[in-house]
Structure 1
C-alpha cells in the first residue's frame, strides 16, 4: 500500500505540473471555484514560502535522507494507516525531488513548480503549493495523528492510561 500510495501521489503531482506548465502562463492566474482557488504558475527555488532560495542544493539532500528513512521504516511496517501516511510523504518528497533534479536551472538546483493558491493569486493571503506539497502535509498530519492515538508502525496499538487525580 505504501508503494501504491507513493506512485499515485507522484503520478498525480507530475501530471498536474505538466498540465500547468503547458497551459498556464506565469503572471496570469486562473480563478476557479468562485475565487476559492487560483491556479498561479510559479517556480520556487526555495522551500515553503520560498525560504532558502539561495541554498536550493540542500533540499534534495534532505529529501534523499527522508526517502532513506522511509525505506528503512518499511522493513518493520505492518500498519495500513502508517503505510498510507508514509506513502504520501514518500510520494510528495519524490515529486518535488524530481523537480529539483530535472528542472531548470539545473540538477540539484531545479525550481519546484507550484500552482495552487487559496483565496487569492500569488500567495497574497496564503502559500502557493502543489500536489506533492499537499501529499507531504497530509502524510505528516496523519503520522502525527497516528502517533497521538498510539498506533504503532508494526500494527500494535498502545493505549495510554490517564493519570488518576486524588
Structure 2
C-alpha cells in the first residue's frame, strides 16, 4: 500500500486515540468513581471504573504484567501493519493500534485503564469497557473477516 494510504490509516489510529482519551477525560471529570449514570435505561449506563487488569478486567498477573503484554502485542501489531498490504487488514490493525495506544496512555499515567461503558440486559451485565476496547474488538473482528476473505480468495485461485 502506498505511503499516502498508510497515512490515512495512521489517521484512523490517531482518531481512535483522541476519541478514547477525550471520553475518558470527560468521565474522570464529570462522573464520580463508582457513580452510575443511566444513558438508555438499564441497558446502557456509564460508570466510572479503573481497571488495573487486562481487557474486560481479566487478571493476567497485575498491572505490570498487563502493561508488558500490551506493549508486546502493540509491537507485534505494528510489525504486521508495516508488512501488510491488504486494505481491510490494515484498517483492522489501525483500529487495534489506536485502541492499544489509548489504553497504554492510561496504564502509564494511572497504572490502570479508565472504563465506563456498561451494557446489560435483564440481570446480566457485560464487563465495563471503553472506546479503546471497542476499537480493539472491532479491529480483531475485521482481521478475522479479512483472513477469511483472503483464505477464500486463495482457495478459489488454487483449485
> TM-score if structure 2 supplies the norm length?
0.84
Does residue 61 of the first structure (1) align with residue 68 of the second (2)?
A: yes
**Would the aligned equivalents of 2:60 and 2:66 in 1 still touch at CA under 8 Å?**
no
Q: How many residues align?
A: 149
For 1:25, what is the secondary structure of its paired residue?
Answer: coil
> What is the distance in 2 between the residues matched to 1:144 and 1:38?
29
Aligned to 2:101: 94
Aligned to 2:155: 160
**Would the aligned equivalents of 2:31 and 2:48 in 1 still touch at CA under 8 Å?**
yes
Q: Which runs of 4+ in 1 moved over 4 A?
A: none
5 Å matches for 1:1-166? 1-52=8-59, 54-103=61-110, 110-119=111-120, 125-150=125-150, 158-161=153-156
More helix per residue: 2
Counterparts in 2 of 1:76 and 1:15: CA distance versus 1, 3 Å: same
Per-residue CA deviations over 1:68-117 (Å, capped at 9, x if unaligned) read 222222333222212210010001111111111111xxxxxx01100000
**Would the aligned equivalents of 1:45 and 1:53 in 2 still touch at CA under 8 Å?**
no
**Would the aligned equivalents of 2:78 and 2:97 in 1 still touch at CA under 8 Å?**
no
**Structure 1 alignment gaps of length 5 or more:** 104-109, 152-156
**Would the aligned equivalents of 1:46 and 1:52 in 2 still touch at CA under 8 Å?**
yes
**Structure 2 alignment gaps of length 5 or more:** 1-7
TM superposition shift of 1:158: 3.0
**Would the aligned equivalents of 1:96 and 1:112 in 2 still touch at CA under 8 Å?**
yes
TM superposition shift of 1:54: 4.8
> TM-score if structure 1 supplies the norm length?
0.81
State which drifts further: 132-141 or 1-10. Answer: 1-10
TM superposition shift of 1:63: 1.7
TM superposition shift of 1:149: 1.4
For 2:141, what is the secondary structure of its paired residue?
Answer: helix
